[in-house]
Structure 1
Amino acid sequence: MIFTFVWAGWEGIAHDSRVLKEVAFNQTSGFPFPPSVLILTFTDNYYLCDAAYTNTRGFMTPYRNTRYWLADFRRQRALTKEEKFNHAHAQLRNVIERSYGVLKARFQILKQMAPFSFPIQRDKVIACFAVHNFIRKCNIHDQLFMAYGENTLFSEIQGGESDGQFVQDIEWGSQGIEYMNTLRNQIASQLWSNGSN
Structure 2
Amino acid sequence: MIFTFVWAGWEGIAHDSRVLTEVAFNPTSGFPFPPPSKYYLCDAAYTNTRGFMTPYRNTRYWLADFRRRRALTKEERFNHAHAQLRNVIERAYGVLKARFPILRQMAPYPFPIQKDVVIACFAIHNFIRRCNIQDHLFMEYDENMFIIEEQGEVIEEERIEEEGIEETQWGLQGNEYMTNLRDQIANQLMLNA
Q: For the superposition of Structure 1 and Structure 2, which TM-score range results when normalised by the shorter chain?
A: over 0.9
SS in structure 2 of the partner of residue 29 of structure 1? coil
Report the Cα distance in structure 1 between the residues aligned to 2:187 and 2:143, rounded to whole angstroms.
26
Q: Distance in 2 between matches of 1:63 and 1:159?
A: 14
**Corresponding residue for residue 192 of structure 1:** 190
Deviations 1:135-192 (A, max 9, x none): 0000000010011115421124344342353455322111100000000000000001
Task: Give runs of aligned pairs for residues 95-110 of structure 1, distance below 5 A.
Answer: 95-110=88-103
- Which position in structure 2 is the counterpart of 1:165? 160
Query: Structure 2 CA distance, aligned partners of 1:58 and 1:168?
Result: 18
How many angstroms apart in 2 are the aligned matches of 1:163 and 1:122?
Answer: 29
**Cα offset for 1:20?**
0.1
Q: How does 1:48-197 map to 2 (within 5 A)?
A: 48-153=41-146, 154-156=148-150, 157-166=152-161, 168-195=166-193
TM-score (norm 2): 0.94
CA distance in 2, matches of 1:185, 1:51: 16
Identity percentage of aligned residues:
75
Structure 1 runs of 4+ aligned residues shifted over 6 Å read none
Q: Is the 8 A contact 1:54 1:168 kept in 2?
A: no
Equivalent residue runs for 1:6-17 within 5 Å = 6-17=6-17
CA RMSD of superposed structures (Å): 1.3
1:35 partner SS: coil
Instruction: Please list the CA deviations of residues 32-61 of structure 1 after superposition, one character each: whole Å capped at 9, or x if unmatched.
Output: 00011xxxxxx3x10000000000000000
Moved more, 166-175 or 57-66: 166-175
TM-score normalised by structure 1 residue count: 0.92
Contact 1:85 1:187 in 2 (8 A): yes
Q: How many aligned positions are there?
A: 188
Specify whether residues 47 and 168 from structure 1 end up closer, same or farther in structure 2 by C-alpha distance, changes over 3 A only.
Answer: farther
Runs (5+) with no aligned partner, structure 1: 37-42
Does the CA-based 8 Å contact 1:52-1:168 persist in structure 2?
no
Normalized per residue, the structure richer in helix is 2
> Could you list the per-position Cα deviations for residues 47-86 of structure 1 after superposition, in whole angstroms to 9, with x for gaps in the alignment?
0000000000000000000000001001111110000000
